């Protein structure tokens, strides 16, 4: 019996790897049968840069147009040392850039780079999720220029269809060149 289970697991792993290598990718259900090992992925890589509360709140403030350290500290509630550390890491990752606004004493503003600007949909999606599931009642919501409340939708930019669990495929890992 143990031998049969081992053969079934090996067969499932082989099928998952074959599906991933086919070019069409594998379904999300097939990911559960893939070999159990840490998966390098863009989510994990993104969390290395953005996955901390004070980091996301600092990006939120810069997105609102708040650029000075003292203001970011007050609006986020982060301690000065933690915020300084997070801003330094964001600068190293290319998400923010420092711009000097005073020479004596030297003072800097923090501005989002293109990479930082591209984090906006993440924050909007978190705000939408938080208003629905984490905060009662929600303190802030967003509206679009059209006057309607903002709802973040996940749609394929190519075909316009909704992105659902069943419509996604995980493509094979790209190899370094």
| Tens place of pLDDT per residue across the chain (177 aa) | 444 444 444 444 444 444 444 557 888 888 888 889 888 889 999 999 999 999 999 999 999 999 999 999 999 999 999 999 999 999 999 999 999 999 999 999 999 999 999 999 999 999 999 988 998 887 878 889 999 988 888 999 999 999 999 999 988 877 655
Rounded CA-CA distance 4/12 in Å is 12
Rounded CA-CA distance 57/171 in Å is 32
Give the CATH fold of the 45-117 domain.
Arc Repressor Mutant, subunit A (1.10.10)
pTM for this entry: 0.79
What per-residue confidence (pLDDT) applies to 15? 47
What per-residue confidence (pLDDT) applies to 56? 97
Rounded CA-CA distance 76/108 in Å is 18
Nearest Cα neighbor of 70 from 100, 78, 12 is: 78
What per-residue confidence (pLDDT) applies to 13? 45
């Amino acid at each position: 019996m143990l031998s049969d289970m081992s053969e079934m697991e090996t067969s499932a792993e082989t099928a998952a790897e074959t599906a991933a290598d086919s070019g069409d990718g594998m379904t999300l259900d097939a990911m559960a049968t893939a070999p159990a090992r840490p998966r390098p992925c863009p989510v994990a890589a993104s969390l290395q840069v953005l996955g901390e509360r004070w980091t996301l709140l600092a990006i939120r403030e810069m997105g609102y147009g708040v650029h000075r350290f003292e203001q970011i500290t007050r609006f986020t509630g982060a301690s000065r040392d933690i915020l300084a550390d997070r801003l330094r890491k964001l600068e190293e990752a290319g998400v923010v850039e420092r711009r000097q606004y005073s020479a004596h004493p030297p003072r800097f503003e923090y501005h989002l780079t293109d990479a930082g600007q591209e984090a906006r949909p993440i924050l909007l999606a978190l705000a939408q999720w938080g208003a629905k599931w984490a905060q009662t009642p929600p303190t802030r919501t967003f509206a679009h220029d059209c006057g309607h409340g903002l709802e973040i939708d996940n749609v394929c930019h190519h075909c316009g269809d909704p992105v659902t669990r069943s419509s996604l495929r995980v493509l094979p890992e790209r190899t370094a060149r």
